[in-house]
Amino acid sequence: MPKPGYFCSVRKRCFRTNRLLRSVVLLLLFGGVLAAQSLHSVGNIFKPLATPAELVSELSILTIAICATIFAIVAGLMAYAVIRFGYREGDSRSEPPQVYGSNQVEIAWTVIPILIVFVLTMSTARVTSAIQDRQIPKDALNVTVIGHQWWWEFRYPDLKIVTANELHVPVSSMAQPRVTSLTLRSADVAHGFWVPQLAGKTDVIPNRTNKMWIDPRELGTYLGNCSEFCGMEHARMELRVIVESDEDFAKWVARQQQPAATPELTENRQAFLASPCIACHTVSGTRALGKMGPDLTHLMGRQTLAAMEVPNTAENLRDWIKDPQKLKPGNKMPAVKISDAQLDRMVAYLASLQ
Ligand code: CUA
**What's the CATH number where 17 sits?**
2.60.40.420
Is the CB–ligand 1 distance for residue 178 below 6 Å? no
Whether the per-residue pLDDT at 33 is higher than 50: the answer is no
Highest mean pLDDT among 1-10, 48-57, 327-336: 48-57
Instruction: Please state, in angstroms and rounded to a whole number, the distance separating the CA atoms of residues 275 and 183.
Output: 33
Residue 29 has pLDDT above 80, yes or no: no
Residues 6+ apart with CB under 8 A from 56: 45, 48, 127, 131, 199, 200
- Which residue, 236, 229, 154, 239, is CA-closest to 192? 229
| pLDDT score at 200 | 92
Q: Quick check: is 155 in a domain?
A: no
Residue 210 lies in a domain: no
What number does the ligand 1 atom closest to the CA of 147 have?
Answer: 1
Q: Is 303 a member of any domain?
A: yes
Torsion-angle region of 264 (φ positive above 0: left; ψ -120 to 50: alpha; else: beta):
beta
Does the residue 54 lie in any domain?
A: no
Residue nearest to atom 1 of ligand 1 (CA): 191
Assigned domain for 286 exists:
yes
Give residue 335's pLDDT band: very low, low, confident or very high (50, 70, 90).
confident
Please tell me the distance from the alpha carbon of residue 40 to that of residue 177, in angstroms, as a whole number. Answer: 29
Domain that holds residue 345: 1-35+258-354
What is the atom index within ligand 1 of the atom nearest the CA of 237? 1
Between these two residues, 222 and 43, which has the higher pLDDT value? 222
Q: 220: closest CA among 200, 244, 202, 195?
A: 244
Tell me the pLDDT band of 16, cut-offs 50, 70 and 90: low
Count of structural domains within the chain: 1
Residue 118 lies in a domain: no
Is 226 a pocket residue for ligand 1 (Cβ < 6 Å)? yes
Pick the closest to residue 142 from 184, 176, 175, 173 (CA basis).
184
End-to-end alpha-carbon separation of the chain, Å?
Answer: 69
The predicted-structure confidence for 257-316, as pLDDT tens digits, reads as follows: 988 877 677 888 888 888 888 888 888 888 888 888 888 888 888 888 888 878 888 888
- Phi then psi dihedrals of residue 93, to 5 deg: -90, 5
Domain for residue 129, yes or no? Answer: no
Alpha carbons 310 and 220: distance in angstroms, whole number: 18
- pLDDT per residue over 123-145, tens digit each? 999 999 999 999 999 999 999 99
Find out whether the beta carbon of 237 lies less than 6 Å from any atom of ligand 1: yes
Q: How confident is the model at residue 85 (pLDDT cuts 50, 70, 90)?
A: confident
Any atom of ligand 1 within 6 Å of the Cβ of 184:
no
Mean pLDDT along residues 188-197? 94
Which ligand 1 atom lies nearest to the CA of residue 149? 1
Position 4 in a domain: yes
Give residue 337's pLDDT band: very low, low, confident or very high (50, 70, 90): confident
- Which atom of ligand 1 approaches the CA of 225 most closely? 2
Cα of 134 to ligand 1 centre, how many Å? 27
Q: Please compute the mean of the pLDDT values over residues 72-80 and round it to a whole number.
A: 96
Dihedral of alpha carbons 134, 138, 139, 140, sign: positive
Q: How far is ligand 1, taken at its centre, from the CA of residue 257, in Å?
A: 29
Q: Is 148 in the pocket of ligand 1 (CB under 6 A)?
A: no
Ligand 1 center–CA 229 separation, angstroms: 5
pLDDT more than 70, % of the chain: 87
Query: Does residue 19 surpass a pLDDT of 60?
Result: no
- What global pTM score does this model have? 0.79
